[in-house]
Structure 1
Amino acid sequence: MIQPDELMALAVDAAEDKKAMNVIALNLRGISLVADYFIICHGNSETQVQAIATEIRKRAEENGARLRGMEGMDTARWVLVDLGDVVVHVFHRDDREYYNIERLWSDAKVVERV
Structure 2
Amino acid sequence: MQVEKLKSLVLNALEDLKAKDVCELDVREASSVTDFMLIASGTSSRQVSALATNLVTQLKEAGVTPLSLEGLDAGDWVLVDLGDLLVHIMQPETRSFYDLEKLWGDFSLAEKQA
Shorter-chain TM-score above 0.5: yes
Residue of structure 1 in register with 2:90 after alignment:
91
1:15 aligns with 2:14: yes
**How far did 1:66 drift?**
2.1
**Highest CA radius of gyration, 1 or 2?**
2
The 3-state SS of whatever aligns with 1:106 is: helix
Give identity over the alignment, percent: 40
TM-score normalized by structure 2? 0.87
The 3-state SS of whatever aligns with 2:25 is: strand
Equivalent runs, 1:30-49 vs 2, <5 Å: 30-49=29-48
The 3-state SS of whatever aligns with 1:105 is: helix
* Amino acid in structure 2 at the alignment position of 1:13: N
**How far did 1:29 drift?**
2.2
Q: 1: distance between equivalents of 2:92 and 2:46?
A: 12
The list of structure 1 runs, each at least 4 consecutive aligned residues, that deviate by more than 3 angstroms after superposition, is none
1:5 aligns with 2:8: no
Deviations 1:51-101 (A, max 9, x none): 111111111121122211111111110100111111100001111111111
**How far did 1:30 drift?**
2.9
**How far did 1:31 drift?**
2.5
Q: 1: distance between equivalents of 2:62 and 2:29?
A: 26
Between Structure 1 and Structure 2, the one with more helix by share is: 2
Residue of structure 1 in register with 2:65 after alignment:
66
Deviations 1:7-64 (A, max 9, x none): 0111111111111000011122233111121000110111100111111111112112
Q: 1: distance between equivalents of 2:56 and 2:93?
A: 23
Q: 1: distance between equivalents of 2:30 and 2:99?
A: 18
